[in-house]
Amino acid sequence: MTDKSSHSAFWSHLEDALEARHAESLNRKCTVSEPLGPTTISRNGKTVVNFGANDYLGLAWHPGVRQAAMEASHKLQKFGSGASPLVTGQTEQHAKLRKTIAEFKDCEDAIVFSSGYAANVGTVASLAGKEDVIFSDSLNHASLIDGCRLSRAQVVVYPHCDHDALRQLVQQNRHRGRFAFIATDSVFSMDGDLAQLAEINRLCEEFDLHCILDEAHATGVYGESGQGLAEHLGIISNRFISVGTLSKALGCVGGFVAGPRVLIEWLTNFARSWVYSTASTIPNAAAACQAISIAKTMRAERIQLATQAVQLRAKLGQLGLQVGMGDSPIIPIYINDPKRVLLASERLLQMGVYVPAIRPPTVPRDGSLLRISLSVCHTESEIDLLTNAIALW
């Protein structure tokens, strides 16, 4: 605030709270990251290898995806959809995207939201109500958490991926809800580990639950055809409600839900983040259709990505670092202190690699971490540059 005459207690409150956040090394700043290539960006005027994107398959750069966007825009001579889907925002291109997603996910129908965030919020808040109970993993993405809050359901948070604790909490609390849900990421966005879907599936059957499964980081990355972790594990169940994004491995923007017709009709009527929000742009819908058809065929790339991820984890482990396990392309290095994690990220940037520092409240109080995300486009020498820089930091 520069105008002191309007300096009410309210503005002072904002300034003081921001200062306190700064003092704890928890403040956020939005820095320009100018894309230079599938794995490089310019940040603060420096060209660095980017380990901070979710474009796991490089599809944001794919010529076919870009071409589809340009052709759609030229054909209609239009960019934005101009309205929410129930008014005039749903074009033939949007309808085609819904069909493409439904086929991709082997489902009857699909619905596309403006973001994965909107998909989770709208889905959870419209499916669960105050008579219901939601069991929510403690490390779920903010959009699932916010969906739980908006639903007004009773929320029981269970310790991260602790199946025994979840079972116990379900036994104790299932009776409190008319309907009961488990809400979970399939690949956790900061820790890169996987929900135990087989166990969750068993609990759903045993206790009459439904699982709202956020496949944001698994879409395109797991499964024979890239459907996600449920496909990878061979779980086919009508107790799973599958949410995904177009924004990560598919290289576009948006979120979706695929499922039986009745589910999509419900969301069409009651998911407020869909009903009251402008449909995504026409070029984005065209690009997403193309990205899905390419992603389906990228089985070899999925295997390569998992291999790269396992190898990198092993190298980082040899350096004595506390690294999250598994084969997902999200690899956390736990540093646990916000100040130290910021310094580490800054040091790495000076050495030519960008790895974002993740701090509370995105992660728990003592859970600050460096979040490496791998792309199949990263070369061996780029990954070596990363490990050498980490060895020196």
Ligand X SMILES: Cc1ncc(COP(=O)(O)O)c(C=O)c1O
The token duo for 291 is 């990205």
Q: Residue 123 and residue 192: Cα distance in Å, rounded?
A: 23
Q: Give the pairing of strands 240-245 and 255-259.
A: antiparallel
- Residue 145 or 389 having the CB closest to ligand X: 145
Q: Residue 13 and residue 352: Cα distance in Å, rounded?
A: 38
- Residue 113 or 354 having the CB closest to ligand X: 113
Site residues for ligand X, 224-253, by CB under 6 A, read 245, 247
| Residue 219 touching ligand X (CB under 6 A) | no
CB of 52 to ligand X, least distance (A): 12
Site residues for ligand X, 174-203, by CB under 6 A, read 185, 189
| Residue 161 touching ligand X (CB under 6 A) | no
CB of 246 to ligand X, least distance (A): 7
| Residue 143 touching ligand X (CB under 6 A) | yes
- Binding residue for ligand X, selected from 62, 94, 105, 141, defined by CB under 6 A: 141
CB of 323 to ligand X, least distance (A): 19
Buried/exposed code over 18-40 (b: 16+ C-beta within 10 A; e: otherwise): eeeeeeebbeeeeeebeeeebbb
List the beta bridge partners of residue 56.
none
List the beta bridge partners of residue 185.
214
Amino acid at 192: G
Closest residue to ligand X, judged by C-beta, is: 116
CB of 327 to ligand X, least distance (A): 17
Stretch that binds ligand X, among 152-160, 212-220, 226-234, 277-285 (CB under 6 A): 212-220
Q: What mask, x for binding ligand X by CB under 6 A, covers residues 275 to 304?
A: ------------------------------
Contact between residue 120 and residue 148 where contact means Cβ atoms under 8 Å apart? no
Q: Is 287 helix (H, G, I), strand (E, B) or coil?
A: helix
How far from 18 is each of 11, 21, 22, 274, 362, CA to CA, in Å?
11, 5, 6, 32, 17
| Residue 112 touching ligand X (CB under 6 A) | no
Taking each helix axis from N to C end, the angle separating 380-392 and 338-350, rounded to the nearest 10 degrees, works out to 130
| Residue 59 touching ligand X (CB under 6 A) | no
Q: Residue 269 and residue 319: Cα distance in Å, rounded?
A: 53
- Binding residue for ligand X, selected from 51, 117, 158, 274, defined by CB under 6 A: 117
- Binding residue for ligand X, selected from 255, 283, 332, 367, defined by CB under 6 A: 255
| Residue 135 touching ligand X (CB under 6 A) | no
Which residues in this chain contact ligand X in the complex, by CB under 6 A? 115-117, 120, 141, 143, 185, 189, 214, 216-217, 245, 247, 255
